[in-house]
Chains A and B, each alone.
Chain A
Amino acid sequence: MIDLKRVRTFGLIAGGTLSFVAAIGMVESFNERTLINPGITMGLLLILGIAAVFGYIVAAGKPNPLVETARDSRSGGIAGGLTGAIAGVVTSLFVLFVDTFDVSEFFPNMREPLVEAMTFELGVPVGLLVLTAVVTATAAAGGAFHGMSDSFRAGMSRALGWVVAFALFELVVSEILDFADPLVDLIYAPRGGLQPWAAVIIGALAWWLSTRYKGRGEAFTERVKDSEAGSRLRRSVILFGVAAVIILPMIVGGVVNELLITSGLFILMGLGLNIVVGLAGLLDLGYVAFFAVGAYGTAILTSPSSPAFAPGLSWWIALPIVMVLAAIAGLFVGTPVIRMRGDYLAIVTLGFGEIVRILLLSDWLTPIFGGAQGITRIPGIPVPGAGTISGTDPQLFIYFTFMFVLLAAYISYRAQNSRIGRSWAAMREDEDVAEAIGISTVQAKLLAFVTGAVIASFAGALFSAKVGTVFTNSFDVLVSIIILVVVIVGGMGSIRGVVVGALVLIGILGGPKSPGLLAEFSEFKLLIYGALLVYMMLKRPEGLLPSVRRSRELHGEDLTQDAWLDKGGDFTGDSAEEEATT
C-alpha cells in the first residue's frame, strides 16, 4: 500500500529542500570538498542524503505507536522512488529557472555555478535528467532500505557511516595515524578524499564487525550500568576516558587542539547555562554578558596596556576577583528579573546582554574598556615549571581548559543532586507549589544566576588569556544563542549531554566566529543551528542525551489518576512529584 498523498507532500518538500540548499549556495561550496576520489563530493553527498532521507521517511509511513508499520522493501522502494521523482522534477524546474532567467542581482547565489553544480557539469537538458534520475534512484534506495531485514540495515548503516566519517574527518584521522604515515598516504588520495578501494574496505570491515559483534555493545553498556558487577568495569571505563583525554591533545595537531579549546570553552559556558536553564528552568538569553564580565575583568586586571586602570596582576590573582565581579553581576541581573514570568525574563536578560555589549563599545566607556580597539596584550597564565601558558601553546592550554570543565561538571553534578538541585527541580516544574512546600524561590533563583555567572566568568578568564585581546564583537547576542543551542541539543539538565553537544556542534560545525572541523559548514552553521533548535523542540525537546527527570517532564508523561490506578498505586519517587503538578 502506497500512501500517494504522503508521497506527493514529501516529494514537494524534498524538492523544496533541494532547491533551497542549492539556492543558498550550499551544494556549490560543499562541492569543493572531495570525499571519495574521484567524483564523490560533499555536495553530491548532500543531494543524495536529502533524497535518501525523504525516501526513507515516506516508506516508513506515519508513526503510529499502535500499529506496527509494514516493512516491505518493494512498496517502500516504489514509494521512495515516486517521492524522489517528484523531488527531482521540482529541483530540475528550479535549476531550469535559474538557468533561463538572470536573477543574480537579487539572489547572488542563483547564477551559472549553481546550475553547473546541480547538473554535474553536464549542461542543462542532460544534467537535469541525470539529476532527476539520481535523486529518484537514491530515494528509491532509501525507501527500499526501510523494508530490509534488521541485520542488513544495521550492517549497511554502519558501513556507510564509517566510510562517510573516514572521508569527512580526513584531517583528524590523518593526524591520529601520524605515526603510520604510509597507511595514510595509501587510503587518502594526494589531493584529499578517500581512495575508492579504501572506501570499499572500510565499509566491508565495518559491516563485518557489526555482524560479528552484534549486540555486544548494548550488552557492554548494560554491564557497565549494572551497579554490582559493573563497578570494576566502570572504573576502567572512566580510567580509559581520562587517559584518552590526556593523550588525545598530544597526538592531534594544532588545528584540532584549537577546536578542542574552543569546544572546551563552550562546554564550560554550556555547563553554566545548563544550571540556569536546565536545572533552574530560567531562560537566560543574555548569558554572554557574564562571559564578557569574565573576559574584560581579566583583561583589565592583567593587561599592562589596559586604558584606565592597569594593576597588571597575575592571572591567578585576577581570577577570584573576576569570580566575585561575575557573582555581583549575576545578582544584579538576577534580582530585577526574579518576579518576572519566564518569557519576560528571557527577553529582559537578552536586553541586559545587549546593554553590556553596547556600553562596552560606546565612546562613553572607551576610556575604561578601550571601545572598538578592545584591550590588548593580555598575558597568559603563569604556571610554575611550565612558564606562561597562552593560546600560542594549545596543547598545554587544553589541559587547563579541561581542568575547569571538570570543576564545572563537578559543581553541576553535586548541585543537581543536592538540596538546592531538588529545589530547582521543584521550582522549574511549578513555582507556586515549590513556594508552598517551603522553598525560597528567590534564593534558589539567585543562586542559579550566580553559579551560572561564575562558571561563565571562568570561560571568560580563560578566553582572554588564550586570545590575548578582547573585542566587543566576541560578546554578541549570537554567542548566547549558540550556548543555548548547545544546551538544548545536548539535553537540558544533562551534563554529558552538554559536553557531547558542545563537542559535536562547536567542534564540528563551528562556534560563533570560528569554523569547526568541517570548515565547509561555517557559512551555513547558524542556519543549521536555527533549524536544529526548531527540530529539537518539536521532536526531541529533552535533547540527544537527556536527563531522565527532564525528559519525563517534557513529554508530559504525567501519571494521571487512571494511569496510577492501572499501575496499582505503585508510585516511585519522581512520579509522585509530577502528580503534584497535574
Chain B
Amino acid sequence: MTTTTSPSKTSRRFRFNWVDSFLWFIRVSALIAIVIGIVGSVQLFLEGEGPTAEQWRDLVISGLSTGFMYGLIALGYSMVYGVLGFINFAHGEVFMSGLMVSLIAATLMFENGFWDANPTLALLIVLSISMLVSTLVAVLAERIAYRPLRGAPRLIPLITSIGVSFFLQYAFAGIFGVATRSYPPAPGNLGNDVEFLGIAIEGTKLLVVGVALISMVGLWWFVAKTKTGRAMRAVAEDKEIAGLMGINVDRTIVTTFAVGGAMAGVAGLLWALLFRAVDFLTGFLPGIKAFTAAVLGGIGNLPGAMLGGVLLGLFENVGPLLVLNGLGIPAVSQLKDAVAFAALVLVLVFRPTGLLGERLGSEDRA
C-alpha cells in the first residue's frame, strides 16, 4: 500500500509509518520488559530469593497440565473458526455446561461411595456425561442460533454467540444457583504423587496430560483418516464446492460443532480434576484463554491449538513470576489473567497468523 503513487504520497506514508512505529514501540518495549524481568528473576534466584527450584518445577508442571486443558478447549474454537470463519464466543459456556451437569453425577457417586470404590469407572461416567452435555449444548446452539445466520456479515454471528454465551451463563445460574460448587476430591489414590521420569508429579496432573494427549490423537485420526474428517476439511476449504461434491454441508458443520463440544467436555473433566470448583461463570475466562491459545497456534490449525494451549498455560503460570516478579511488581499472582490477555494482544501484534500459521477457508482469508 505504501507503493501507491497518489499525489499525497508523503502524507500517506507518514500516517502508515506512524502506526507502524507505534506497533514497533509496543514490540520493542514488550521485549525489553520481558528481558529485564527475566534477568531480574534470574538474579533473584541466584541470590536465593524468590521461588525455589522446586517451586519453579511445580509451576511448570501445573502450567503444562492447565495448558493441555486449554488446548482441548481451543480445538473447538479452532475447528469452528476453520469451518465457519467465526469465533464461537459461547464455547467457554459449552465447556462449563458439561462440567456443571457432570458435577451432579460426581456428587451422587461420591455420596454413595462408588467414587472411591471404582475410580476408573466413576471418571469414565463423569467424562461421558460431560462430553454428552457439552456436545448437546454445542449442537443446539448451532441449530438454533448460528445456522440461520450462515452467510451473514462476519460480526453478526459473533454478536449472536456473545448473546448465546450470556444466555447460557445466566440460564445455568438460574437453574443451578449462583453458588460455587465443588467437585469431590480425585477418586482413589489419584491425588497422590507419582514418580515419573524421576520427578514426583501429582497423579491427577499426569492423568490430565495423558487424557489430553489421547483425545488429541483421537481427534487427529478422526480429522485426517475418516470420511467425515475429510468432509470437514473440504467444507473448511470451500463450502460451496464441497456441497457440489456431494458433501452434506449442514451435517458436516453440525459434526464440527459436536466434535468441538465433545473436546470441551473432555476439558470439563480435566478442569474438575485440576481445580475442583465450578460456578456459572467458570466458562468465561478459560474460554477467552483457549481462544488466545487457538490464535497463538494459528487458528484453524489443530496441532497449533494444542501447542498454543500448552504455551499459554506455561506462560500464564510461569510468566507472572518469571517476568513481573523480576520487574519488582508485588503480588504477581493477581495478574495471572492480565498476563494471559497481554499474551493475546502481543501475539496478535507480533504474529497475527499464529505460530504454525492459519488454515482458513478461501472466503475467510481476506
Contact = CB atoms under 8 A, between A and B. Distances in A.
Q: Do A and B bind each other?
A: yes
Interface of A: 20, 23-26, 105-109, 281, 283, 285, 335-344, 346-348, 350-352, 354-355, 358-359, 361-364, 432, 435, 438, 440, 442-443, 481, 484, 488, 523-524, 526-527, 529-535, 537-538, 541, 553-554, 556
B160 A358 contact: no
A440 B15 contact: yes
A526 B171 CA distance: 9
Interface stretch (B124-132, B255-263, B309-317, B339-347): B339-347
B345 to A, nearest CB: 6
B342 A533 contact: no
Given A283-B158, A354-B338, A534-B144, 6 more contacts: A20-B171, A362-B334, A526-B169, A530-B170, A534-B167, A537-B163
10 contacts: A20-B171, A26-B174, A344-B352, A348-B348, A364-B335, A435-B1, A442-B19, A530-B170, A538-B148, A554-B153
Nearest to B93: A530
B156 A347 contact: no
B159 A283 contact: yes
Given A335-B23, A361-B334, A364-B335, A533 B162 contact: yes
Contact of A529 (B19, B166, B295): B166
Nearest to A332: B22
Contact of B291 (A347, A361, A488, A541): A347
Given A107-B175, A350-B288, A488-B159, A343 B154 contact: yes
Interface string B302-343: 000000000000000000000000000111001101100110
Given A336-B26, A364-B330, A281 B155 contact: yes
Contacts of A341: 154
A541 B15 contact: no
Contacts of B179: 108
A516 to B, nearest CB: 16
Contacts of A352: 341, 345
A358 B338 contact: yes
A352 B345 CA distance: 8
A106 B104 contact: yes
Interface of B: 1, 6, 12, 15-16, 19, 22-23, 26, 86-87, 103-104, 107, 144-145, 148-149, 152-160, 162-171, 173-177, 179, 288, 291-292, 295, 329-331, 334-335, 337-338, 341-342, 344-345, 348-349, 352, 366
A108 B179 CA distance: 10
Contacts of A351: 288, 292, 341-342, 344-345
B291 A527 contact: no
A352 B349 CA distance: 13
B174 A537 contact: no
Contact of B149 (A25, A355, A443, A538): A538
Contacts of A531: 163, 167
A413 B338 CA distance: 37
Closest 3 CB pairs of A and B: A533-B163, A24-B174, A530-B166
B176 A106 contact: yes
A344 B295 contact: yes
B306 to A, nearest CB: 20
A537 B156 contact: yes
B189 to A, nearest CB: 28
Contacts of B288: 347, 350-351, 354
B166 A533 contact: yes
Contacts of A556: 152
B22 A23 contact: no
Contacts of B291: 347
Contact of A526 (B152, B162, B166, B338): B166
A354 B288 CA distance: 11
Contact of B167 (A340, A346, A523, A530): A530
B26 A109 contact: no
Contacts of B163: 529-535, 537
A349 to B, nearest CB: 10
Contacts of B145: 534, 537-538
A481 B338 contact: no
A195 to B, nearest CB: 33
B36 to A, nearest CB: 16
A335 B20 CA distance: 9
B181 to A, nearest CB: 8
A336 B177 CA distance: 40
A344 B292 CA distance: 10
Contact of A336 (B23, B148, B341): B23
A346 to B, nearest CB: 6
Contacts of A354: 288, 337-338, 341
Contacts of B174: 23-26, 109, 523-524, 527
B352 A340 contact: yes
A138 to B, nearest CB: 24
A350 B159 CA distance: 13
Contacts of B144: 534
A274 to B, nearest CB: 14
A533 B6 contact: no
A171 to B, nearest CB: 25
Nearest to B151: A556
A343 B86 contact: yes
Given A106-B104, A527-B174, A538-B145, A346 B158 contact: yes
A105 B104 CA distance: 9
A340 B347 CA distance: 12
A24 B155 CA distance: 31
A336 B334 contact: no
Contacts of A339: 19, 352
A484 B22 contact: no
A351 B291 CA distance: 11
A169 B23 CA distance: 53
B79 to A, nearest CB: 16
Given A443-B15, A526-B170, A438 B6 contact: yes
Nearest to B179: A108
A210 to B, nearest CB: 34
B175 A530 contact: no
Contacts of B348: 336-337, 340, 344, 348
Contact of B159 (A105, A355, A362, A484): A484
Interface centre among B107, B174, B352 (most CB of A within 10 A): B174
A133 B158 CA distance: 41
Nearest to A23: B175
A247 to B, nearest CB: 37
B16 A442 contact: yes
Contacts of A348: 344-345, 348
Nearest to A443: B15
B272 to A, nearest CB: 15
Given A343-B155, A351-B341, A364 B331 contact: yes
Given A344-B352, A348-B345, A537 B153 contact: no
A472 B338 CA distance: 15
A23 B171 CA distance: 10
Contacts of B166: 481, 526-527, 529-530, 533
A480 to B, nearest CB: 10
A358 B155 contact: no
Contacts of A484: 159, 162
A108 B177 contact: yes
Nearest to B141: A534
Contacts of B107: 105-106
Nearest to A353: B341
B345 A336 contact: yes
Contact of B87 (A347, A363, A523): A347
Contacts of A346: 87, 155, 158
Contact of A530 (B22, B165, B366): B165
Contacts of A107: 175-177
Nearest to B26: A336
**Most A Cβ at <10 Å: residue of B149, B171, B295, B342:** B171
A529 B104 CA distance: 28
A533 B345 contact: no
B346 to A, nearest CB: 9
